[in-house]
Amino acid sequence: MREDDEVTFGSGAFREERRKDPSRVLALTDGVFAIIITLLVLDIHVPELSAHEHLRTAIAEVRPSFISFVIAFIVAAMQWVGHRDLFTLIRYTDRGIIWLNLLTLFAVCLLPFGSALLSRYYEDPLALRLFGLILIGTSVARTAIWAYATGRPSLIHEPLDRASIWSGLALSVFPVAIYIIAFAIAGVSSQASLAVYASGPVLYFIAITLLRLLAPRGSAERQFT
């Protein structure tokens, strides 16, 4: 039962509220993320033993699908936490935010394919680049929502000062820069590219922790997860 059910006047204003209400956008997004992080488990098949084979050796076959699940899980979890942080800022949705969010979900949906490809062909520059493109897509779409929302004070909970807007933007652009580097060096050294991808989450955690520590009390930067 919703807040407005008890109010019998001015329901026009309430329809307006409901139209701008982000709750269904969040419900769809959480549903997509829940599916994404459980989807790749479907690919971890129980191995069938051939004659004289031991489960101990056969279980090794599931390693690539397990690694691909771990990669997709970590990346999707980071994206979800980032999405949740972003939408604590956004009070109302409009047409632009809804379609930018659908664009984010489009890129997020490709994460399982990207990580499955990477876990299978981690030495191939093409696999490394496609994985990078998907990650760049998710981060760019999220950055677009941040830029769009912070530029429209009527959509956000409280006006942000310039410094907070820029540090939020920097934090969104930061992973993009890492992924572009990994993308660029994929042709030169696949191992170096892999290492840069792997360093992404680590560097991001360090950056976010630094921002939280350095930011003045109560500012937006302290609110990142």
- Region 177-206 residues binding a copy of itself, contact defined as CB under 8 A: none
CA of residue 196 relative to chain centroid, distance: 18
Among 53, 60, 63, 88, binds a copy of itself (CB under 8 A): 88
182, 189, 102, 101: which is closest to 136 by C-alpha? 182
In 3-state terms, what secondary structure has residue 90? strand
Instruction: Please identify, using beta-carbon distances, which residue of 190 and 199 lies nearer to a copy of itself.
Output: 190
CB of 180 to a copy of itself, least distance (A): 21
Instruction: Please identify, using beta-carbon distances, which residue of 116 and 171 lies nearer to a copy of itself.
Output: 116
Supply 8's token pair.
Answer: 């019998």
Q: How many residues lie near a copy of itself (CB under 8 A)? A: 71
Site for a copy of itself in 124-153 (CB under 8 A): 124, 126-127, 130
Alpha-carbon distances, residue 62 vs 76, 121, 132 (angstroms): 21, 15, 24
Looking up tokens 């030495």 gives 123
Among 12, 154, 162, 217, binds a copy of itself (CB under 8 A): 12
Supply 174's token pair.
Answer: 């930061």
Q: Binding to a copy of itself by residue 19, rule CB under 8 A?
A: yes
Among 75, 85, 135, 211, binds a copy of itself (CB under 8 A): 85
Looking up tokens 């009070």 gives 91
Site for a copy of itself in 38-77 (CB under 8 A): 38-39, 41-42, 44, 46, 55-56, 59, 62, 69, 73, 77
Distance CA 109, CA 185 (A): 25
Among 50, 52, 158, 213, binds a copy of itself (CB under 8 A): 158
**Stretch of 81-89, 132-140, 171-179, 189-197 contacting a copy of itself, by CB under 8 A:** 81-89
Supply 177's token pair.
Answer: 């820069």
CB of 221 to a copy of itself, least distance (A): 12
171, 167, 165: which is closest to 148 by C-alpha? 165
Q: Specify the length of the chain in residues.
A: 225
Give, as one character, the DSSP assignment of residue 48: P
139, 138, 135, 137: which is closest to 182 by C-alpha? 135
CB of 90 to a copy of itself, least distance (A): 10
Instruction: Please identify, using beta-carbon distances, which residue of 10 and 177 lies nearer to a copy of itself.
Output: 10
Among 60, 61, 63, 157, binds a copy of itself (CB under 8 A): 157
Supply 120's token pair.
Answer: 């299978």
Instruction: Please identify, using beta-carbon distances, which residue of 1 and 202 lies nearer to a copy of itself.
Output: 1
